[in-house]
Amino acid sequence: MKAEEFPSAVLSRHVMVVDDSRAQRHMVSMQLRRWGYRVTECESALVALDLCRDLDIDIIISDWMMPGMTGLDFCREFRALGRESYGYFVLLTSKSEKTEIADGLEAGADDFLTKPVASNELRARLRAGERMLAMQAELLAKNKVIVSTLVELQKLYDSLDRDLIEARKLQQTLIRDRVRDYGWARVSLILRNSGRVGGDLVGSFPVDDDRLVVYSIDVSGHGVASAMMTARLAGFLTGSSPEQNLAFQKGPEGDHLLLPPAAVVERFNRLMLEEIQAEQYFTMVFAVIDRRTGRLDLVQAGHPHPMLIRADGQVQRLGSGGLPIGLIPEAGFDPVTVPFQPGDRLILCSDGFTECPLPNGRDFGEDGLIESLRASAHLSGPDLLEAMVWDLTRAAESDSFPDDVSGIVLDLLPEVSGQHRPVTGIAQPGQRLGDG
């Protein structure tokens, strides 16, 4: 075969011929040069091994039986060099026993040639070696691309992770007090995200001296998109700016009047469908407590059922479910009105509690939540929320939850005779626990 009949890659291949027989070595080398290979001849395996440390050898054709170091040992040492590129190793042998061939393969040989070497057989072995070297070169090139891509992805991931950490810190600045004392009522909050940032939002704000709003929101999905949505929703529920709060409308005298809970939720539904138009929706409970009338008015929009712990310890489930916000235009939302007296407690929580999967294949569910509330009803608001998380952790056998976990406890406090208890811990008129 002429050199031009071989692929162009052959012309750059470097072949080493190792044989203590000068005649045998020259005969093989002559054929290789005729076919376009670059050839290096060595009369011993020890010399060849030293050269392999410095030269980039593609193919080695080595005699098996040589003084000093056999071809088998040479092959074994060659494989141990830890080269980046693969070297195709052919052993020249007169051995035909299966055990001998097995020893050669164990040592790392790729192929065998029987002495004396026939030209057509040598050519066939070289073609096999060319195919393997070509595949190895292609694989190595692809691996380099993959490694380079992974390095770039890691840089992007590290940058994104740093941004998320900063976003989490920024969200935490929205959390001023996890316990708010309004004088006649106390609100306790908890929020634990399943990731760096989350899509849950709980908060409260006063309306006047006798009314207070609490709310719990859970945006669909997880991560940055949900966190951005909760941040936007928090801006529509700020007590410090009633003109921006969707719960208020401007009265005839320029004052801001609180809308009924059903009207508030309908406003949010229109906002999501007509203005925001995001591929998201959210569930919500919006509740208004009026201590003057002793009444609790709320709307449940696809959120887990609010729980009411009466002063006598009875646990009552409120609401009938309702539709999430942002799915159906002109959706109706049913209001719920119940008596609310000093000593009563309202608990709102996200489905991170009720839908948390347990090892037995079931969810924690409302039954698990009610059992937890009954067992810890005597605790203060913050301790009750921590006990709920502890019970969830114990039931799930893990403190790493698949969804954000949030909750709010509203305690209606006994009146102080002859005076109102002062409002403490208020930095601004409204308060929220943000999506952080």
Per-residue pLDDT, 225: 81
pLDDT band, very low/low/confident/very high, at 223 (cuts 50, 70, 90): confident
Q: Is 427 helix (H, G, I), strand (E, B) or coil?
A: coil
Higher pLDDT, 225 or 187: 187
Identical fold for domains 3-139 and 174-433, yes or no, is no
Confidence tier at 11 by pLDDT (50, 70, 90): low
**Per-residue confidence (pLDDT) for residue 103, from 0 to 100:** 85
Average pLDDT over residues 241-270: 90
- What's the pLDDT at 51? 93
- The answer, yes or no, to whether residue 387 has pLDDT greater than 50, is yes
Domain ranges of the chain: 3-139, 174-433
Q: What is the pLDDT of residues 174-187, one digit of tens each?
A: 556 789 999 999 99
The pLDDT of residue 166: 73
CA angle 185, 188, 197 (to 5 degrees): 145
Pick the CATH number of 3-139 from 3.40.50.2300, 3.40.800.10, 3.30.750.24, 1.10.10.10: 3.40.50.2300
pLDDT of amino acid 309: 95
The pLDDT of 142-150, averaged and rounded, is: 90
DSSP code of residue 194: S
Q: How confident is the model at residue 425 (pLDDT cuts 50, 70, 90)?
A: very low
Nearest one of 113, 102, 136, 3 to 63, comparing CA atoms: 113
Q: With bands split at pLDDT 50, 70 and 90, how would you rate the model's confidence at 417? A: very low
- CATH superfamily placement of domain 174-433: PPM-type phosphatase domain (3.60.40.10)
Q: What is the CA radius of gyration of the chain?
A: 38
Q: Is 221 left (phi over 0), alpha (psi -120 to 50) or beta?
A: left
Q: What is the pLDDT of residue 296?
A: 97
**pLDDT mean over 410-423:** 64
Distance (Å, rounded) from C-alpha 408 to C-alpha 253? 34
Is the pLDDT at 413 greater than 50, yes or no? yes
Sheet with 185-192, side-by-side order of all strands: 179-181, 185-192, 405-412, 345-349, 307-309, 315-317
Return the beta strands (E) in 154-309 as ranges: 179-181, 185-192, 200-206, 211-219, 248-250, 256-258, 282-290, 295-301, 307-309
- pLDDT at residue 16 tops 80: yes
User: Rounded to two decimals, what is the model's pTM?
Assistant: 0.65
Residue 323 is predicted with a pLDDT of 94
Mean pLDDT of the chain: 86
Which tens digits make up the pLDDT trace of 282-297?
999 999 999 999 999 9
pLDDT per residue as tens digits for the range 64-123: 999 989 999 999 999 999 888 889 999 988 766 667 788 888 888 998 888 888 888 899
Please compute the mean of the pLDDT values over residues 200-225 and round it to a whole number: 91
Average pLDDT of the segment spanning 254-267: 92
Query: What 3-state DSSP class applies to 369?
Result: helix
pLDDT-derived band at 146, boundaries 50, 70, 90: very high
Q: What pLDDT score does 431 carry? A: 42
Q: What is the mean pLDDT of residues 338-354?
A: 95
